[in-house]
A = this chain, B = another copy of it.
Amino acid sequence: MLKLQRWLSRNQLFEQVVCKKAGHVDHAFGSHPFSSGVGIPGQKFTHTVPKNENDRVYAAYNVYKGKAGVSMFPCLPTFTKLESGSLVIDRRGSILLTFFPAIGERKYDWTKKQFFSLNPTEVGTLISLGPRDSCEFFHDPGMLSSTAGQVRKSLTIKAHADGNGYFISLNVVDNTQSTKEFLSVPFTAGEFSVMKTACSFALPHILGWDRLTKPSLGMEKGFQPNKVNREGLSLEWKR
Q: Which residues of A contact B (CB under 8 A)?
A: 1, 3-7, 10, 13-14, 16-17, 21, 27-28, 30-35, 44, 48-50, 53-61, 64, 73-79, 82, 84-92, 104-107, 120-128, 135, 188-195, 197-198, 200-205, 207-213, 215-219, 221-233, 236-237
Contact = CB atoms under 8 A, between A and B. Distances in A.
Contacts of A232: 17, 21, 48, 50
A194 to B, nearest CB: 4
A225 to B, nearest CB: 5
A186 B216 CA distance: 33
A86 B56 contact: yes
A137 B216 CA distance: 34
Number of copies of chain A assembled together: 4
B35 A3 contact: yes
Contacts of A59: 77, 79, 89, 207-209, 211-212
Contacts of A195: 124
Give me the 10 closest cross-chain CB pairs, A-B, nearest first: A59-B208, A125-B190, A54-B85, A3-B33, A124-B194, A124-B193, A128-B193, A201-B204, A50-B229, A124-B190
Contact of A76 (B10, B79, B105, B213): B213
A222 B219 CA distance: 10
Given A56-B226, A124-B191, A198-B207, 7 more contacts: A1-B35, A1-B106, A55-B224, A57-B225, A73-B226, A120-B194, A128-B192
Interface of A is mostly: mixed
A127 B195 CA distance: 12
Contacts of A227: 53, 75-76, 78
Given A28-B88, A193-B128, A209-B59, A217 B223 contact: yes
10 contacts: A1-B105, A4-B34, A31-B90, A54-B85, A55-B86, A57-B211, A76-B225, A121-B191, A124-B189, A197-B200
Given A4-B32, A190-B121, A88 B58 contact: yes
A32 B135 CA distance: 25
A48 B229 CA distance: 7
Contacts of A79: 57, 59
Contacts of A212: 57, 59, 73-74, 76, 202, 205
